[in-house]
Structure 1
């Protein structure tokens, strides 16, 4: 699990300069999920949100069809993604736990995101939605999803 240096998420330039996987894995996961759903390369996916219990960090948003999931790692089984996330956060914070909720709001709407303490697309230094579409475009979705299903 990658840990950002203190202050990077509050510095728009440093945040923007992060490699894509780190940018979308540590603070802009909702943008990647929203971009995926806006131009869905595969059908049947919806957003899910990992919400840590009170007093803990570790919020994460990804897309899933209920069996496989897609986030900044690419495709994996949903169970594997959840296990990886749980292992990473619980190893850093004793007592860490979470709930999983289906996303019922627009992942690219600033007002909706701000209500949930997330940045909207227009609150980044440049355009994170275009960046997410470029990230998504370079993936062979059919092949990657097939491999993830084989391990699910």
Structure 2
């Protein structure tokens, strides 16, 4: 798990200068998921959010169809993405836990994102939506999804992740 140096997220120039994967993985994940869901390359995807327990960091938003997921890593088995995220945060924060919730708001709307303590598209140094769209165009979505689906079928039974699902 990559850890940003202190102060980068608060410095608009340094944040914008991060490589795409780090930029979208550490602060702009909602923008990437929102751009993905604007015109999904695959059917049946929706947004999901990892909400850390009270007092913990580790919020993350990704797109999923319930089996595979898409985020700054590309495509992966949803359960593997959740396990990777949990393991990374729990290794640095004993007792870390989370809730998984379906996203029920516009991921490209500043007001909605601010309500959830995330930056909206117009709060970055430059507009991150075109950057997210360029990032998405570089991906072979059919191949990435097929590869992720193959990992799901090989890893039966699926992993159990210690996050609870929000029924809403």
TM-score when scaled to structure 1? 0.99
Structure 1: segments with no counterpart, 5+ residues:
none
Aligned to 1:114: 114
Deviation at 1:125, TM superposition (A): 0.5
What does residue range 35-54 of structure 1 map to in structure 2 within 5 Å? 35-54=35-54
Give the length in aligned residue pairs. Answer: 152
What is the deviation of 1:140?
A: 0.5
In the TM superposition, what is the alpha-carbon distance from 1:39 to its structure 2 partner? 1.6
Q: Which residue of 2 aligns with 1:124?
A: 124
Q: Structure 1 residue runs of 4+, over 6 Å off? A: none
Matches of residues 1-150 of structure 1 in structure 2 within 5 Å?
A: 1-150=1-150
TM-score by length of 2: 0.90
Query: What is the RMSD of the two structures over their aligned residues, measured on CA atoms?
Result: 0.4
